[in-house]
Amino acid sequence: MNKLQSLWYAALCVLVITSSSCVNHKQLLLLAESPEAGLALDGYQKEIELPKLEVQPDDILYITVNSLNDETSRPYNMSSGTSGSGGGGGGNSGNNQLLQGYSVDSLGYIDFPSVGRIRVGGMSLEGVREQVVAALQPYLKNPAVNVKFLNFRYSIVGQISNPGTFTTINERVSLLEALASAGDLSTYANRHKIYLIREESGIRTIAILDLQDEAFLSSPYYYLKQNDVIYVEPSEDIIATVADPVNRYISFGSAFLSLVTFTLALLARR
């Protein structure tokens, strides 16, 4: 091996070692276009079916009742200072908002003023509205009822900038919106494996989503449901950065010293 070959060999060793743990640009992309897979995002259109959110135990519902006579409907509104299961008077923002809601018990019932227990478990918000309207018929004439979730909650853990549990009053939250609320994916997040854990009617399911696959946009897991848990798996590239940092630094240092030694040796023989 001549001098020039030795120099090139040392440089190649340094390049291989230092680049072995790098994350390339393609790995960081979401919904990357792929001619091989026939994916073209330009002009993309896809009809999707929105998830049907169902009321579950421990949900908190915000229910407002209005009628032609405000005085008769006032006792049915939590913000008016009435008390009920899981609720009470309070402010109109932040955590106080939860005190203005009706808590769903373990059997799927809420305790409504003057009416008593109303079963709402397993129903959509529209179904709950119809139940409350029917229950109020003996007390109010043509009541107008509005129902919302107060504790739409989801958790995100793993390779995310700001992991934690998040609560929103929105009735529809996409996975991408949830990731954004947690500060977005870290550099070493595996965008091919996003685990979504969901519990419905006592059944737990786990879905694995690929954020670089077009099918993700029409997945039934694109929109979250209450109490979903998202786990962002680390990519394999992170192993080299955390598994054995001492050996990694020694390897880098040895390769660098080898390159310097070869360079000095060549210069000394000129």
> Going by C-beta distance under 8 Å and a sequence separation of 6 or more, which residues neighbour residue 250?
none
pLDDT at 88: 36
- What is the C-alpha to C-alpha distance for residues 265 and 127, in angstroms, rounded to an integer? 83
Indicate the pTM of the whole model. Answer: 0.60
Please check whether residue 158 is in contact with residue 194, taking contact to mean a CB–CB distance below 8 angstroms: no
- What is the C-alpha to C-alpha distance for residues 35 and 232, in angstroms, rounded to an integer? 27
Burial letters 128-163, b for 16+ CB under 10 A, else e: bbebbeebbeebbeebebebbbbbbbbbbebbbeeb
CA 57 to chain centre: 21
Looking at the chain, list the stretches that DSSP marks H as alpha helix, in order from N- to C-terminal side: 3-19, 25-28, 70-73, 125-136, 175-181, 239-242, 245-269
pLDDT at 94: 47
Q: Please give the CATH number for the structural domain made up of 152-238.
A: 3.10.560.10
Where, residue-wise, is CATH 3.10.560.10 in the chain? 152-238
Where, residue-wise, is CATH 3.30.1950.10 in the chain? 60-149
Name the residue among 228, 177, 223 with its Cα closest to residue 206. Answer: 228
Locate tokens 């040796």: which residue? Answer: 265
| Count of alpha carbons within 13 angstroms of residue 146, beta-carbon side | 6
Query: Sign of torsion, CA 70 129 84 137?
Result: positive
- Per-residue pLDDT of 232-266, as tens digits, reads 998 876 655 555 555 555 555 665 566 556 566 65
DSSP designation for 34: B
Q: List the pLDDT tens digit at each of the 270 positions of the chain.
A: 555 555 555 555 555 555 544 544 444 444 454 544 444 545 545 556 666 788 988 889 999 999 888 888 888 887 644 434 433 333 344 455 556 789 999 999 999 988 899 999 989 999 999 999 999 998 898 899 999 888 888 999 999 999 999 988 777 899 999 999 999 888 888 888 899 999 877 789 999 999 888 788 888 899 998 889 999 998 876 655 555 555 555 555 665 566 556 566 655 665
pLDDT at 132: 94
pLDDT at 4: 54
The token duo for 200 is 């419905």
Q: Please give the CATH number for the structural domain made up of 60-149.
A: 3.30.1950.10
